A = this chain, B = another copy of it.
Amino acid sequence: MRLGFIGLGQMGAAIAANLVGTGHELRVWNRSPDKAAALVAGGATLAKSPRDAATGAEVVLTMLADDAALSAVLDGDEGLYAGLAPGALHISLSTIAVATADCVAAGHGSRNQAFLSAPVFGRPAAAAAAKLFIVAGGDEASYRRALPLFAQIGQASFHAGATPSSANLIKLCGNFMILATIEMLAEAMTLAAKGGVGKEKFLEVMTGTLFGSPLVRTYGAILAAGEYRPAGFAAPLGLKDMRLVAQAAEGERVPMPFLNVLRDHLLQTIATEGGDVDWSAIALSVARNSGLER
């Protein structure tokens, strides 16, 4: 299949690497072209523009840092919209706002281009291992068309519904739930620690009883070790996602008090620790507020 791939950051490059050299013809583009070198060495072609990456492709995948970056590759004479043929499919893997996904869906719709909004769950290591979870919104036919590609980059995919942005809403809820799990662990571990129960003992009991999910194990270990650098997912990106959740919640008129706590702790963490820590470093703020870790 002829594919385009736009956006070769930490996540995008890892995903694209699972598509190159597997029988597909892959044309890649990134704002900083040097990020494409490894893929080109593996058989990909470097496109001159988003338009160029899309021209002649059956499917174009995009993985960009935020809503503005996605808009920047879509619009204009050299943009994806201009290059993608009618009937061809754009799969957006980025975590973006619900409203932005609605807007992109309309943009493709007016050009008779197919569109799936398909954000993923997983950190860079999961992307490299093709272990992502993919949540895709869009019409059934497009979803089926994408399944073979999803199988190459992830361990499972889900069809969120016919509205593309429904996948983004689910993804944002998922990121909210991950950070809420971190905060929950942080508050409980801090109380246990000040009361004389060590973090390892605490985690042994909790993961051995009711809280034995991979998520709790992964972040429990990070919190027990207190290792927040280098960031797997940087706090400012987490703040961006929580802002997108808040925008959706305000639009739908849903009070979310847990979300407020998460945003405030991200703000505190960025203000006091800097912007280069992992989003799980909200646990450091929780601990400091109790007089620990000073």
Contacts and interface: CB of A to CB of B under 8 A. Distances in A.
Given A166-B195, A202-B170, A261 B258 contact: yes
Nearest to A288: B272
A1 interface: no
Given A212-B213, A267-B254, A289-B272, A173 B156 contact: no
Interface stretch (A2-10, A80-88, A142-150, A244-252): A244-252
A178 B272 contact: no
A136 to B, nearest CB: 10
Contacts of A286: 255
A210 B178 contact: yes
Nearest to A261: B257
B205 A215 contact: no
B197 A161 contact: yes
Contacts of A245: 191
A121 B170 contact: no
Q: Which 3 A-B pairs have the closest CB atoms?
A: A271-B291, A260-B260, A255-B264
Contacts of A185: 177
Interface size class of A (residues with CB under 8 A): 35 or more
A153 B173 CA distance: 38
Contact of A291 (B212, B243, B272, B291): B272
A121 B207 CA distance: 13
A239 B250 contact: yes
A46 interface: no
A204 B158 contact: yes
Given A166-B196, A253-B290, A272-B294, 17 more contacts: A158-B205, A166-B195, A169-B191, A174-B211, A176-B184, A187-B256, A191-B248, A210-B215, A211-B213, A212-B213, A254-B267, A254-B271, A254-B290, A255-B289, A257-B260, A260-B261, A261-B261
